[in-house]
Amino acid sequence: MKFPQLTENDKKSKALSGSSQMKKDFLTKIADGINNANSSSSIFFDFFDWKADSYIETGEHVLSYMYRALASSGSLVHPVIGFDRWDILDYQNALKGLVVPEGTMYCLRIDSTSIDDAYDVDYFTDTIHEILDSLGLSGAEVMVMFDFGDVTHKSIVSMHADMQHLITAVDEFGFASIMIAGCSFPIIINDAVKEVDSTDLVERKEMHVWKAIYSDMKSPFLFADYGIRNPKGADGVKAIHANGKIRYTIENKYFVARGHSKQKGNKGAQMYDLARVIVKSPYYLGAGFSWGDERIEACSREEIKGGPTQWISYDTNHHMSFVVEEVSEFQRSRITPRIVTA
């Protein structure tokens, strides 16, 4: 879970109007929303969109405040350690000051810049040793995430080579698990589907790499991604000429139906046509597969139309449902059956 930045629009919102503690009230609102929506008994959180030396108005570090706000719900909160931020003293002190229940698992996040740093192996491993020693953690209490972020301009081959290097570099630490994360879906629809009112496929490179490496791993190897939105995409930007689109996750790929500018032709009603393209495709799994699939089918019957926010939720729901099944099925296929002899 990551936390959005406090924007000028947020400051002007009704919820924060007249607030004398803008940061604190904004983060409280975010934490309350997460606590109310979260049905899981545990949560990992990070705040990499905020500066690592950020404090709320009362003088408490943002990391410390958010940790306490989330933990107040009774959920087990797993802190995420940002390798890229470790050299900032404010950040180190905030992590060291967290009152964390014994046995809580941490996550060490190695972002795309830090992945490049890993080729200076001595610097990379020395920094990890410093992090673990400073926080009093063993490798067994930490899962490491190699977060490639936006991989639209990386090849599967280069990602695979990076992962092999990274796995070797951290082998000495005996981490509880290793995770790969990334996003292959481009920021703008033009880079996914070149022509308006057409369809195309986008390779999910992060999934290809996870599958290629999974069987060779000695420790648990987990998959993560950014869903159907590129992490570099801006939030809250109104694009008046945005094209209608549906991003439908399939095995190893996204099947993408692109429309046209919502200022032209049938405007927002183009979503009916795009939904019918998905439903009539060989990839559609039926309304019973997920809530997102049910919404797509309802749109194809012109029962709903949905705006950009709704379509992000429909596409994301299908994506999450599909990826869970895809990962589980792949893992089952790699389990060698026991042969019992008389």
Cα distance between residue 28 and residue 38, in whole Å:
15
The per-residue pLDDT for 12 is 79
What pLDDT score does 45 carry? 87
What pLDDT is recorded for position 340?
46
Q: What's the confidence (pLDDT) of residue 192?
A: 96
**Cα–Cα distance for residue pair 255/54, rounded to 1 Å:** 40
**Total number of residues shown for the chain:** 342
> Which mean pLDDT values do the consecutive 10-residue runs of the chain (342 residues) have?
76 83 92 88 88 96 96 93 97 97 96 95 98 98 98 97 98 98 95 97 98 95 94 73 95 98 93 98 98 98 96 97 98 68 46
C-beta separation of 308 from 271 below 8 A: no
Q: Specify the DSSP class assigned to residue 151.
A: -
**Concatenated DSSP letters of 65-85:** HHHHHHHTTTPEEEEEEEGGG
Q: Output DSSP code: residue 335.
A: S
Burial 255-264 (b: 16+ CB within 10 A, else e): bbbbbbebee
Output the pLDDT for position 89: 98
Of 169, 55, 42, nearest to 106 (Cα)?
42
